[in-house]
Structure formats: C-alpha cells, structure tokens
Amino acid sequence: MERRTVRRNGTRIAGAVMAAALLACGTVLGAGPGEVEQTIQLHPGWNAVYLEVQPDPSDIEAVLAGVPVASVWTLKAGTETIQYVRDPNEKTLRTDGWYGYFPPSRPEHVTTNLFTFRAGQTYLIRLEGEVPVMWRVCGRPGMKTVRWLPDSYNLVGFDVDPQAPPTLGEWFKPSAAHDGQPIWEMTADGSWREVTDPYSTTIRAGAAYWVYCQGKSDYQGPLVVRPELLEGLDFGKAVRTLGLNIENALDIDVDVTITRQNPGDVPLVVEVMDPETVKRSYPDVPAAYRIEVGAGKGARLDFGVRRARLAALEAADVLSVSNGLGCRRLVWVHVQSVYQPVLKSARDASTPFSGLWVGIARVNKVSMAQEGGTTPKPTKSSYPLRFLLHVDASGQVRLLKEVTKMWKEGTTKPDPGGSGYNVTDQPGHYVLVTDESLFDQFKGVEFNGDAVVPVRISTIAYDFQGTELEAQGTIGPRGNLDATLVLPVGFPTNPFFDRYHPDHDNLDAEFLNFKAESYEITRRIHWRFTETDPWGIDDPNWGHTILGGVYSEEITGLHRNPIFVEGTFRMELVSPIPVLNQ
C-alpha cells in the first residue's frame, strides 16, 4: 500500500483515493409511477458511485440482492482529513472517517456500521468476481444539498443528463471555489487520476469524483432546483400549492424545460398570475413545460393538483428539470385523495363526498313580497349566510346548526403474544359531535393556553328543531340538494314569538291559555351545484374539497306572500370524518 498527502495553498490535505476498476455509466430510465431506475455498471474491483434515487426498501442487502459485493463504503459527513490510497486496501478505510458494510458471508460482517443507501450520497463499492454487473436501483428521485468541506477534497457526484452530460469545466465554471481546482476521476484500470483538461472531460452520470473546494462554497451546479419540501412536491391529502425554485448560475439566459414522466396520472397545474388584474389561474402542466430563466437569475413556480380528476386514491409523477446544457434534476411529485371510496375518473354526484363541509352563501337577489313577485331582484349589496353540511359514507346529507370536533381515546388489550404488556386494541380518533350529552365521553383537541379544549363550528343563519336535519339529494359538481326548515309557532327563534311581550307570547289576556299570536315560518333551501366556481376563483381543489353553485330559498310565513331569495355559494371540506357522535 502506498499513501500520500497533498499540500495546497499551505493547507495539508489528507485525501482518500482508492484504486478501483470503474466504468459507471449511470442512466436513469422510467420505472413505475413516481419512480425512476438508475443503472450503474459495476466492474470487478472498486467502483465509485453516485446514487440519484432513494430505493425502497433502502436496506443495503435488499438493494444489492444478487450482486456479489465484498464491501460498501461511504464517507462520514464533516470528515476533516481525506486519505489518498494508491492501492485498494479495505484496512485503510477502517477509520473514523468512513462507514462500511460487509456481507454476511464475510467474517468482517460483525463490524458493519453502514446499513442503508441514501439518495444523493456517494459510495465506494468493491465488486467480487471477474464479470461486470449491471446494477439497477429503482426508487424515488432524491434531493440533497452538497455541503462542501472547505480547503479539502470532497467526494461528490453530479445530477446530469445521461444522454448529453456537460464537461467538468462547464459544470464548475460559475464557481470561483472550484473553477481551475484539481478534480480526480476513477479509471477503468483501478486507479485514480487527475483530470488535466476538465473542459474536454465529460461528466459520467452515476460516477463519483474527488473535487477540491478552495475556501467556503455553497455551489450546487449551473442549475439549482429547490422544492419547497425537501422530499419533492408532496401534496399529500391537503396541501394546495407547493413552490419549486429554479436558479440559473450561468452568465447566459437559459430555457428550462420541465418534462413529466406520467402526465396522465397526476392532474398537475401551475399558478399563473395576470399582471394587470392580479388574478390567479391554474392551467394544466403539459408533458413538456418551458420557462426562461435569466443569467444569474431565479424563478419560482407554484404547482397545485386538481384532485377532482384523480383516478385513484393516490398518484405520483417525476419531473425532469433541465437547462438544455446537460444539467438535470429529478423532482418527485405525489398526491393523495381525502376520500376513502374508490374514485372514478371524475367525481360526480353519485359519489359520496363524505365529511363535514362549511359553506358561505352570498344572497344578492330578493323578490318584492309586497307586490307578490316571485322573481328575485338584484340587491344593492349581498349578505352572507353560513351553513354546515355533513355527508356520511352512504351519501346522506344532513344540515347542522353546530358541530364540535373532539377526540376519542383509544383502547388497549393484553398482548396476545404474551409479552405481558398491553397493545392497542382500538386506536384513538377524532370525532364530530352534535349531541352535547355525549361531551363527557370525549376529550378536547386544541390547547388554548390553559387546557385542551374542543373546537366548535356553528352558524346563526338558520335554526330548526333538533340537532340535525336530513336533506334530500346529493352534493357534487352536478348535484342538487334540498332542505326544509320549519320554525313552529312558539319556537324560541321564531321571529314573531317573544315570551315576555303580551302581544307575541302565544297566551291569552290572562296569560293562562294558549292563543296563537305568531306564525309558522318555513324555509325551503335549494343548493344547485355547478361544475365551475360561481365566484370565479380557479382553485386547484375545486370539485374535490371545494364545491359551489347557485343558492336559493323560498320563505313562507314572514309575509302573506312567499319571499324568494337567490345567490351563489361556495363550501369547503373541513373534516373527512363520515360519521357523527362516535
């Protein structure tokens, strides 16, 4: 074994260069939805590898199943001294600066302290035998920021287009900390050699290089792609929009192309703002979407998902972001539906939109009752009416006056495995309560500074007998719903009734016997759902967790003639719980 140290600018750098036979032709191909496949050719001996995907499972033995490896190594973060090793020797790597893995067949397996693969990480892999192996790794694309160790060599890889990668010189030209600094690459004969002409040396996708960093640096390449969430654009069940920041480090303008792997699976949209009206719209993202990013400038794209178009409970996609000059980053996209039933290609009125909905109706038309008119006339201004609707798993809709969100504790039982401990029998869960007599069975859900309290949602826009009122019809983009509310004579909120006023207390002059002095009030409410937003708000969640349409009422009992009102409404799902009081 031969070892050497390198001095540069008066700083002593111990560097590790392991002799290896390497030809790592990393190629990322389409795999399953939301996944990519990276192929790396491993040659007998040592291989320096840069992993672009996050395998699942990430266990090294599972990922390397069938691949005859002798060991796998990765450098510990923040290692201050890096040793250059001219000859292959695992003993040199068994220092505090490295994590290592040995297969169970080797006696050194008991010293293994490296157990998983991670995306964005570099590895030294020693392959046994005399035959090259095409190693295929499938998983989500990973996003990782390179943390450069100043005044030292760093073992790094690059996110490049495997079909047209840039040269090392082109990659590092924008960075003063790296341009002109030494770079070492692995050769097929099992040795590390310094790159003498970086502008004619093409970057190999999936390969790792030793790169010297002079001073401090946060350089991430000519094209930087930063999702708002580290793992990518994961919209989950509730996130409306997520940002994707793109930075161009070059001194020229570039056209950045975003190519989708599965454009038919995720109904992805992008936010566009009209500079004159400041109104937002969300057009669909095509299979290839292009934007121009100026020299040294950045751009932000805000994406959303139209969940109403989901054909499954969840879907995934991969965005390939490229500057056309060999730089490419892969971004994972994922979205879920809040609904448990199997979804259709487009949700409609026959599919239960189960859960609690809170809506606002803007009433802006009223008929002229004194004239006996039946056609609502426009008013000078609108007034809001808040309403609460709950839909169970079968699609039955109920109008609510108030509902309280609480927590039901789970239960436990003795471990059937005989451990002597209790295990979960029924897990705890949130509940929607309309019956106040059940409050003592549940607990609060929100801390107000002194205690954990329930959260109550209510409205004063209407009243009726009981706590729930069944409505007729269905909700959905083409649904129709009707509810009839009756305020009987003597009902506490009947506007004609006043128990303390002798002319409106429904009692005779002696205050002893019933005498009708108020009138029964009936409100027949109708919601007609529309496929487009009546308020003109182009929200990506329209048709899924946001619905709306035309609101109308026929009110009898207030006047000798019926009163007709009309307006528009919009409502939003605030809880997907399909049951009440349990």
**What are the structural domain ranges in the chain?**
3-213, 223-336, 355-401+459-575, 405-451
How far is Cα 285 from Cα 254, in angstroms, rounded to an integer? 20
DSSP character for 266? S
b/e burial code for range 481-518 (CB count within 10 A of at least 16 → b): bebbbebebbbeebebbeeeeeeebbeeeeeeeeeebb
Contacts of 466 (CB under 8 A, 6+ apart): none
Q: What is the layout of strands, in order, in the sheet containing 355-366? A: 468-470, 397-400, 377-391, 355-366, 563-575, 546-556, 521-529, 480-487, 472-473
Report DSSP letters for 449-499, one per residue.
Answer: SSSEE-EEEE-SS---SSSEEE-EE--STT-EEEEEEEE-TT-TT-TT--T
Question: What DSSP character marks residue 62?
Answer: H
Going by C-alpha positions, the residue among 130, 22, 20, 42 that lies closest to residue 86 is 20
State how far the Cα of 582 lies from the Cα of 579, in Å rounded to an integer. 7
pTM of the model: 0.79
Other beta carbons within 10 Å of 151: 18
Secondary structure class of 521 (helix, strand, coil): strand
Cβ–Cβ under 8 Å, residues 554 and 442 = no
* Closest-CA residue to 581 (of 434, 482, 456): 434
Nearest CA among 221, 242, 581, 209 for reference residue 432: 581
Give the strand order in the sheet containing 36-42.
27-30, 36-42, 133-141, 53-55
Question: What pLDDT, on a 0 to 100 scale, did the predictor assign at position 82?
Answer: 57
CB 38 within 8 A of CB 28: yes
For 572, residues 6+ apart whose C-beta sits below 8 A from its C-beta are: 357, 358, 359, 545, 546
Per-residue pLDDT at 244: 96
Per-residue pLDDT tens digits of the chain, which is 582 residues long: 233 333 233 322 223 322 232 334 454 545 668 899 999 999 999 999 999 999 989 999 999 999 999 999 998 877 665 555 455 567 667 767 889 999 999 999 999 999 999 999 999 999 999 999 999 999 999 888 999 999 999 999 999 999 999 999 999 999 999 999 999 998 877 778 899 999 999 999 999 999 999 999 999 999 999 999 888 999 998 899 999 999 999 999 999 999 999 888 899 999 999 888 888 999 999 999 999 999 999 999 999 999 988 888 899 999 999 999 999 999 999 999 887 543 444 444 446 799 999 999 999 999 998 888 889 999 999 999 999 999 998 999 999 999 999 999 999 989 888 888 888 888 999 999 999 999 999 999 998 888 899 999 999 999 999 999 999 999 988 899 999 999 988 788 888 766 666 656 666 666 667 666 667 889 999 999 999 999 999 899 999 999 999 999 999 988 889 999 999 999 999 999 999 999
Closest by CA position to 225, among listed 251, 202, 244:
244
d(CA 270, CA 242): 10
Q: What is the pLDDT of residue 17?
A: 28
Cα separation, 404 vs 392, whole angstroms:
16
Cβ neighbours, 10 Å, residue 536: 8
Cα distances from 567 to residues 390, 521, 524, 527, in angstroms, run 21, 21, 14, 10
CA atoms within 13 A on the CB side of 553: 24
The two beta strands, 183-186 and 455-458, are unpaired
Three-state DSSP at 67 gives coil
Question: How many CB atoms neighbour CB 403 within 10 A?
Answer: 26
Evaluate whether 54 touches 137 at the Cβ level (below 8 Å). Answer: no
Q: Which CATH number fits domain 223-336: 2.60.40.2310, 3.40.50.1100, 3.30.420.280, 2.20.25.90?
A: 2.60.40.2310
CATH number 2.40.160 given to 355-401+459-575: yes
Element (H, E) at 11: strand 11-13
